[in-house]
Amino acid sequence: MEMLDVIMDGLFTWQTLLGLLVGVLGGMLMGALPGLSSTMAVTLLIPISYGMEPVAALVMLTATYTSAIFGGSITAILIHTPGTPSSAATAMDGYALTLQGRGLEALGMSTISSTVGGIISAIALLLIAPPLARMSLKFSSPEYMFIAIFGLTIIGSLAGESLLHGLATGVIGLALGLIGMEGTLGVSRYTFGVLQLMNGIQLVPALIGLFSMSQAMLQCEKLSKPGGLASGQISKEAAKNIKGHFFLPLKEYPKYIPNMIRSSIIGLLVGIMPGAGGDIGSWVSYNFAKRSSKHPETFGKGELQGVCASEAANNAVTGGALIPLLTLSIPGSGTAAVLLGGLIIHGLTPGASLFEKNAHLIYPILVGFLIANILMGIVGVLIGRKVVKVADVPANVLIPIIIVLSVLGSYAINFSMFDVYVMLAFGFIGYFLRKLNYPTAPIVLALILGPMAENGFQMSLLMAKGSVIKYWAGRPLCWLFVVLSVCSTLLPVIINAAKKKSGIEQAEASSPED
């Protein structure tokens, strides 16, 4: 009971409540804008947090983190411009749903699953952080490598119409991931002496280019054609449907609950690992959701389960990333690394002592984080019906705004024009690929997971002290992901073969949907 008093005292001050509100609203706004990732959102608010009470400051920052991840899904769904890298997986199904006039449904699903994912991770953070942090130590480079490979196996099925197209863009992504200084040996590859390329192709400008910029260019093209779509990117009939439902009928939900919980747990676990953040979590759980679905062919063409998986996972990552940060002083994601700065500046040195010495500060913060996730859901419900109209804004207004935001967003990351050029280059790449019916998502996926797999491989070689195969074989967690990867690759083949046997008509009936 004493603890409860402490939590109440810390949490219910004007400053903390204000910080909570600023964090949730500011986080959602910044997350929704392309280029302002959750890391940027937290970085921008850190200087403001200096003057605040520690509890208020940290509640604001953690609320910003989780809300920014959720905010990213709003623009991903409505205008195909993921606000943060974590929402790239959401964009595929979410935008397809918007095109079908089901944008509001997608937003509703994103709101609910983000909130559930966030709450599950916040509870885990509050109650079982130390054992979970211990568990995270079981994962090291070899496991990271196999997790990344498992994530990469989804490329084949992101392809949509042609497997070959998907694999081709996946390879382009892997090749682009090679650019820069190699992690373990420090050898530079394909940098051509350009200093800015030493750190590799930065994910955020590439993502903005591939998704937002190429989207704007495609819209421009449509607009210039006679009889082009004057009102946004959705068709007239779809626009009528936009009023649809935010919430699904209650009896529909049980279908999504297993997926929501599974994705939250995956997100939590990915979040705990250092060097793997929301972007990886959302892809891995998307892969799981697709593999375990009875209709994997609907993924990528507007499947609510896809939105559910990706959004539950990326918000679960936020709490997960805080677990090793607070207990072991090891940040679980890029944003958590920035939060480490915020903690330290307020004298809250992470580590075992944090929960003893500073319990009167840390527990209110953790409960604040939980409340932030709930508040985020409430705000999402309240604004859902309003923001969905963004999808209906005339293209001639929306396109310039997207372009300006894309340029600003990529410049703001490092205050460097170079990133803007990278963004523009990827805009053109994305435009032509999409014109030629090549999917762009595999590039982003490969750009995220390729370096992770390679780094894991290089480190395994060094850590093995001899035969690396033997080293991997001695690690049960590696086996787990090898088995998952093999299943993930072979299952579709087997299922297809089985389908062909059972009747070609059925397969035909289900494929020409889009």
Partner 1 sequence: MKKWILCLLSLLLVFSLLTACGGKDAAEEAPANEPAETQEETEAEEPAAEESAEEQKEEPEAEEPAEEQEEEPADSASVDFPAGKPITLIVPYAAGGGTDIGNRMLVPYLEKELDTTITVVNQPGGSGWVAWNELATKEPDGYTITAMGSASLNYNKYNPDAPQELGVDDFTQLGCQVVDYATICIRADETRFKTWDEFIEYGKENELTGSGAGTEDKVTKLYLNDAFGTNYTAVISGDGAAGALTAVLGGHVDFLVSNVGECLIPYQDGELIPLCVFSEERSPFLPDVPTYKELTGDSVLFFSARALATTGGLDPAIRQVLVDAIAAATQNQDFVDDMAEQGLLVQYMTPEEFTQLVKDEESVVLEYLDVLW
Which residues in 39-78 contact partner 1 (CB under 8 A)? 39, 43-44, 46-48, 50-53
Residue pair 451/173 in contact (Cβ under 8 Å)? The answer is: no
Q: Name the one range near partner 1 by CB under 8 A: 130-138, 246-254, 427-435, 482-490.
A: 130-138
> 41, 61, 38: which is closest to 372 by C-alpha?
61
Task: Using the minimum distance from each CB to partner 1, give the nearer residue, 90 or 141.
Answer: 141
- Please report whether residue 393 would count as binding partner 1 according to CB under 8 A: yes
Q: Which residue from 2, 14, 193, 512 is in contact with partner 1, where contact means CB under 8 A?
A: 193
Q: How far is the CB of 43 from partner 1 (least distance, A)?
A: 5
Half-sphere exposure of residue 348: CA atoms within 13 angstroms, side-chain side: 26
Q: What is the rounded CA–CA span in Å between residue 26 and residue 325?
A: 23
Asked whether 97 and 244 are in contact (CB, 8 A), the reply is no
Residue 225 CA, chain-centre distance (Å), reads 35
CB of 310 to partner 1, least distance (A): 23
Closer residue to partner 1, CB minimum distance, 39 or 110: 39
Nearest residue (CB) to partner 1, 92 versus 176: 176
Tell me if 14 contacts partner 1 by CB under 8 A: no
Non-local CB neighbours of 110 within 8 Å, separated by 6+ positions: 70, 73, 74, 77, 90, 94, 307, 308, 311, 380
How many binding residues for partner 1 (CB under 8 A)? 77
Question: Which residue intervals of 1-138 are DSSP H helices?
Answer: 2-11, 14-32, 38-49, 54-79, 88-99, 103-127, 129-136
**Minimum Å distance from CB 137 to partner 1?**
4
136 binds partner 1 (CB under 8 A): yes
Query: What are the residue ranges of helices labelled H in 436-503?
Result: 441-464, 468-473, 476-502
Q: Which residues have C-beta within 8 Å of that of residue 81, sequence separation ≥ 6? A: 34, 75, 91, 208, 211, 212, 215, 402, 405, 406
In this chain, which stretch among 96-104, 107-115, 190-198, 222-230 interacts with partner 1, using CB under 8 A? 190-198
Shortest Cβ 188–partner 1 spacing (Å): 3
Q: Does 191 bind partner 1 (CB under 8 A)?
A: yes
Q: 311 to 370, contacts with partner 1 by CB under 8 A?
A: 324, 328-331, 334, 337-341, 344-345, 347, 349-353
Residues 254-293 that bind partner 1 (CB under 8 A): 274-275
Stretch of residues binding partner 1 (CB under 8 A), selected from 87-95, 233-241, 244-252, 450-458: 450-458
* Nearer CB in complex with partner 1: 57/441: 57
Amino acid at 371: I
Q: Which stretch binds partner 1 (CB under 8 A): 27-35, 239-247, 262-270, 307-315?
A: 27-35
d(CA 320, CA 139): 14
Confirm or reject binding of residue 218 to partner 1 (CB under 8 A): no
- The residue (of 187 and 436) whose beta carbon lies closer to partner 1 is 187
Q: Is 189 helix (H, G, I), strand (E, B) or coil?
A: strand
Buried b (16+ CB within 10 A) or exposed e, 142-156: bbbbbbbbbbbbbbb
Among 381, 408, 468, 482, binds partner 1 (CB under 8 A): 408
- Shortest gap between Cβ of 41 and partner 1 (angstroms)? 9
Q: Do the Cβ atoms of 88 and 207 come closer than 8 Å? A: yes
